[in-house]
Chains A and B, each alone.
Chain A
Amino acid sequence: MVTHESGGHHHPPTGFIRKYIFSIDHKVIGIQYWFLALFSVFVGMFLSLLMRLHLVWPNLKLPFTAGGVMLPETYLALVTMHGSIMVFMVLTTAPQGGFGNYALPIQIGAEDMAFPILNMLSFWTTFVSLMVLIAAFFVTGGPPIGGWTAYPPLSALGEIVGPGQGTGMTLWVVGVMIFCLASLLGALNFIVTTVDLRAKGMTFGRLPLTVWSWLITAILGLLAFGVLLAACILLLLDRVAGTSFFIPGGLVVTDTVITWHKGGSPLLWQHLFWFFGHPEVYIAILPGMGVASHLLATFSRKPVFGYKAMVGAMLAIGFLGFCVWGHHMFVSGMSPYSAFAFSIMTMTIGVPSAIKTFNWMGTLWGGKIQFTTAMLFALGFVSLFVTGGLSGLFLAQPSLDLYLHDTYFVVAHFHLIMGVAAIFGIFAATFFWFPKMFGRMLSEPLGKIHFWLTFVGVYCIFMPMHFLGLAGHPRRYADTTGVNFLAPLHTVHYFITIAAFFTISAQLIFLFNVIYSLIAGKKASANPWNATTLEWSVSSPPPFDNFGGVVPVVYRGAYEFSVPDAAEDFIPQGLAPEKVGRAH
């Protein structure tokens, strides 16, 4: 790296609160996001375990359901909170807020995010939003029961439609509104930082694909969260101020005729929600794509196959993501012409997705593959992305979706593609950057055991759900006892619950690995993976200002692996050409 003295070298804060709590250092904020997601993912998993147990043993007395048998509405509350916490607090925060915050500024050669105080506000606003969501567990009536999509009129009418739809639902709306603000602030910072703070020589064509993925994710966030915020304001007004944006007239709820609302359109909410909701899927998965691309190249010791095509595919996925929201609404009674248009647009996404998949294969082809845990999770990401994506082609067709929409087929689809694939991206990123973040390596043997148990486990959980769906098993039902045509499927449910139990238990290995490695893990060198990007050119963990007072300069693209004539099989982005060793 070329070293120029920086004019603006600054000193780290010394007090505990400024250093670790209200820190404006993007690295600390990234780690804060990561821990927030780690906490949330365990809460979310615990809720899913309760659901799985109830589905198989409906008469089981569970300690967290007031010591009694779980009521159907409690089950629905678990569905809602599992979805909301996982989507907002895990899949949206960890890949972007966590790793994006941590790695993006260093990877582009910046000292920090463009607006550090704004960055701190983003995290703490997210934290408040999580607390408001979780508060729904502790109010009268408990959490909302309308699902993470909060469809009106159920979500708009208050507690008359069920426990949890009173205070719990209001807290949900307010929590999501706060989350929207946090995400908008974060998105602004990501884009400005990438556009305006790149180091000398860091052209757009040299950006690591991780940075591209965070940038495109931020653009999606900026354009999508404002729409959800607007929708939530309308919903809140319907709930607390008596307006009728979403509530139609003439509703009869539990023997009460609703006379004080009329004329509203529940479909309006669905349009607004899914206009946000579909980009949200890509907000969750795009960073995983970036990480997978980055890791496949690093651990195959080969340049990314088709760098420009990879960037183009991500841009195309991002753009098309705004044109397909209607495919979530095929069963809403929309015009078949609209459905046809949305269907065509949706299947078009298969093209950039296929480009990415083929390029991942191309990157692996002929490489000297190193099966580190991080690489295994990246490969797992590709596997799950393909598996989950293929069922998307079925669901993109209105004629099939009409049958499959409210079945377990959809549960299988979105968990594989949005849930588990994205989680594998998070795991891959964790194993890759943990040494940089904490200065210690995660245990590889424990990591590999964790990977294989999780990889086999998630397939055991979600593959059978496709068959449940094809057999017509409806989703969101708390208990199917007494439904004759579903009785033969009980064995499948039993298998899934056992698989879920083991898979969730395997996550304790990960938790143990994190805690053990934080305390006693092998000390990490500056560049344990022989990687090329700038974060590996500084110590682990990096100094407060990332580059120790020197201004980084970038000389080449992010994936210079196995360059012919070079002494080593990687050339760091910041290594001056005269310092590149030549093979003899």
Chain B
Amino acid sequence: MPGTLTDDIEILDVGRGGGTDVPAGGDDDGEPSGGGFGRVPDRAYFTLIQLSLAGITMFFMALTSSLLVRKGLGNDWISFTLPRVVWVNTLVLLGSSVTMQISLRRIREGAIASFRNWWTLTTALGVLFLFGQVAAWRDLRAEGVFLTTNPSSSFFYLLTALHGLHLLGGIIALLYVLFRRWRRSRITQSTAASLASIYWHFMDGLWIFLLALLYLGR
């Protein structure tokens, strides 16, 4: 049924449930944005991060089911003991999530110097984790366990490498948050830090999941 003019008058309240209500054109510091694209509201960045995590989840779920199927269908799966250093790495990564939360609290309180210290520590723990993962690979190689040795080791190298790659992206994001000049940007440093933290905590949780998978599924 076509609407009538009366219907139109009833829906005059254009703001009701609509899209972007107020164009978020200006910056936090009151300067005009560099261009019209500055209208993108902060929440779009949060949507972007959350959606990315959905995509990343599908990616790792595909690999998880591959592991389960490969292990279930083949008869050549040989267990190996995970290098001890991965447990240390896990503590390091968990610690980085804690320091990140402290850091976030600092920036929201306006304690910028303290924020920078805690943020730097978080980044350093991330880097330490990656070095730790490389150390785990070296331990395995020393024991003669290589990528092609067995499907169990193939999945270990693959999943740790792909998680490491994603975490490396996180480290780059952390450095970006730390070193970018935020005065003339579309979002505040605090918002950027919050965005990076969502990704970082997700990578932390993802590692716990992968570790459980590799440990229980070894």
Contacts and interface: CB of A to CB of B under 8 A. Distances in A.
Interface of A: 6-11, 24, 108-112, 114-116, 184, 187-188, 191-193, 195-204, 222-227, 229-231, 233-234, 237, 241-245, 249, 262-265, 267-268, 271-272, 275, 302-303, 545, 551, 553-557, 560-566, 571, 577, 580, 582
B36 A111 contact: yes
A96 to B, nearest CB: 16
Contact of B63 (A203, A230, A557): A230
A226 B51 contact: no
Interface in B18-54: 18-21, 23, 25-26, 32-41, 43-44, 47-48, 51-52, 54
A262 B77 CA distance: 11
Contacts of A244: 148, 151, 154
Nearest to B54: A222
A268 B69 contact: yes
17 contacts: A8-B38, A191-B51, A197-B19, A197-B44, A198-B19, A200-B20, A203-B19, A224-B58, A230-B66, A234-B63, A244-B148, A263-B74, A265-B69, A302-B2, A555-B8, A562-B2, A577-B5
Nearest to B64: A230
Interface of B: 1-5, 7-9, 11-12, 14-21, 23, 25-26, 32-41, 43-44, 47-48, 51-52, 54-56, 58-63, 65-66, 69-70, 73-77, 147-148, 151, 154, 158, 162
A196 B151 contact: no
Contacts of B47: 191-192, 195-196
Nearest to B4: A564
4 closest cross-chain pairs (CB), A and B = A198-B19, A10-B35, A201-B14, A226-B59
A299 B65 CA distance: 48
A200 B62 contact: no
Contacts of A200: 14-15, 18-21
Nearest to A560: B3
Nearest to A262: B76
A511 B55 CA distance: 38
Given A245-B151, A271-B69, A545-B36, A231 B62 contact: yes
B73 A227 contact: no
A199 B148 contact: no
A184 B62 CA distance: 15
Contacts of B11: 555-556
A263 B151 contact: yes
B6 to A, nearest CB: 8
B148 A243 contact: yes
A268 B74 CA distance: 11
Nearest to A222: B55
B8 A571 contact: yes
B145 to A, nearest CB: 13
Given A111-B39, A192-B51, A555 B147 contact: no
B126 to A, nearest CB: 23
Contacts of A24: 37
Contact of A192 (B3, B21, B48, B60): B48
Given A114-B48, A265-B74, A242 B148 contact: yes
Nearest to B42: A196
Given A116-B37, A555-B11, A201 B18 contact: yes
Contacts of B59: 226-227, 229-230
B55 A187 contact: yes
B51 A580 contact: no
A226 B62 contact: yes
Nearest to A202: B19
B9 A577 contact: yes
B51 A222 contact: yes
Given A6-B23, A268-B73, A196 B44 contact: yes
A197 B37 contact: no
B26 A7 contact: yes
Contacts of A265: 69-70, 73-74
A581 B74 CA distance: 73
A582 to B, nearest CB: 7
A8 B51 contact: no
A565 B5 contact: yes
B4 A8 contact: no
Contacts of A243: 147-148, 151, 154
Nearest to A4: B23
B58 A560 contact: no
A77 B211 CA distance: 42
B60 to A, nearest CB: 8
Nearest to A115: B48
Nearest to B72: A265
A192 B41 CA distance: 11
Contact of B54 (A223, A545, A566): A223
Contact of B4 (A7, A229, A563): A563
Contacts of B51: 188, 191-192, 222
Contacts of A556: 3, 7-8, 11
A202 B18 contact: yes
A197 B77 CA distance: 50
